[in-house]
Structure 1
């Protein structure tokens, strides 16, 4: 589920669940384990990468539709745990985004320190409202942090999926490069960062990113139960069934 490629002391964690790296319990658990273990395995920085055309398609909706409420709670909890693992990583993490990156995949990228996306007709965004899901405040915060409150509101409420050039202009991603170079460019960015005195850099980074951790830690059990209540609402179920029908085609 996770391929680990070591580039010296920079380790690349590649999502590997074809065809679109849809997130389920198994993949999320493997991601959490890989992030947590990396510093003890000699990693000084991480790259999170995905597929060539789709970084991650987000949460695996067909899989989620087979689960009961307890199963849904477990999978969504795992998703937030994976997001927290990225946010709390004691070493820097770059998201190398070679293709489209909707919904849950976008959330994971927003939890990283830096995002490098492929130039071209690739889209990224929090499109949850398009498929009938409300976006929790903890996730909205991640977008507000990079785009500003007003722009984040417009993007999130509309469920907008924006192309790479607009994503760069709005701050959703930090840099564009050719699709085949996202990992190489991620390595260069991290190598430059790692030339700084290590302890001061890491301490400063921890201070700068503390707000991300607070936002994600603020999503508790009560918030999860409210989210699941919404999952079972009539209009959400109708939207999810419509999505399932499109996927079957």
Structure 2
């Protein structure tokens, strides 16, 4: 992860050179960056993937190590989603390409979501690959995906392009690749001007029911 600061906006730029999988390293780096941004009183945070790939989801290599190792990674990933959903600072995601499974959940946990235009896939493939969607993920999905698309997204594993994903509720807008960083910075700077205490408090109020469902499900995994 690269920690980049411009004025009072921090960018957490993730690039593992491959699929930007969400494994222990990704989770550690994300938490470290979020901690630092709060500690240094940043006004807003941007999460950015590498060009062509935001994230392909959980690190499948961890599942191959055994059930306990896979479950430990998943639990930590869910803890991160809860943190992102209730994170006190404005959170903008720059979706730089393919956005699949856990990658899409990270996007949905953000406040403002901007995607790059291109031949990229946005999907929750869990049903298609014979995986369950636990309540924590259903709650997050239902809070962001519009009702008309919820069955297609969460149940039928439909694959969307970036423009279609805006209509479904994954993203707020799509821009050309060369405009992505400047647009996200513009949005982040605007959000950073809002009163910080009220932003943090009202985020928790707005997302109270979603966060409760997510936390209750996480607690049941212990």
Counterpart in the other structure of 1:235: none
Say which SS state the counterpart of residue 19 (structure 2) adopts.
Answer: coil
Counterpart in the other structure of 2:76: 78
Q: Is the CA contact 1:20–1:54 (under 8 Å) kept in the aligned structure 2?
A: yes
Q: State the 1:220 CA deviation.
A: 2.6
Structure 1: any 5+ residue segments left out of the alignment?
226-249
Say which SS state the counterpart of residue 216 (structure 1) adopts.
Answer: helix
1:155-166 → structure 2 map (5 Å cutoff): 155-166=153-164
Give the TM-score normalised by the residue count of structure 2.
0.92
Counterpart in the other structure of 1:54: 53
Number of residue equivalences: 222
Q: State the 1:103 CA deviation.
A: 0.3
Alpha-carbon distance in 2 for matches of 1:206, 1:65? 33
Higher normalized helix content (fraction of residues): 1
Alpha-carbon distance in 1 for matches of 2:194, 2:33? 25
Q: State the 1:221 CA deviation.
A: 5.0
Deviation track 1:172-208 (CA, whole Å, cap 9, x = no partner) reads: 2101111232222111112122233443333323322
**Cα RMSD over matched residues?**
1.8
Q: Is the CA contact 1:11–1:43 (under 8 Å) kept in the aligned structure 2?
A: yes
- The one of the two structures with greater contact order (alpha-carbon pairs below 8 A, sep at least 6) is 2
Give the TM-score normalised by the residue count of structure 1.
0.82
Say which SS state the counterpart of residue 131 (structure 1) adopts.
Answer: coil
Counterpart in the other structure of 2:5: 6
Structure 2: any 5+ residue segments left out of the alignment?
none
Say which SS state the counterpart of residue 54 (structure 2) adopts.
Answer: coil
1:38-187 → structure 2 map (5 Å cutoff): 38-61=37-60, 63-187=61-185
Counterpart in the other structure of 1:218: 216
Q: Is the CA contact 1:29–1:82 (under 8 Å) kept in the aligned structure 2?
A: no
- When Rg is computed on C-alpha atoms for both structures, the one with the higher figure is 1
Closer/same/farther in 2, CA of residues 4 and 140 from structure 1, 3 Å limit: same
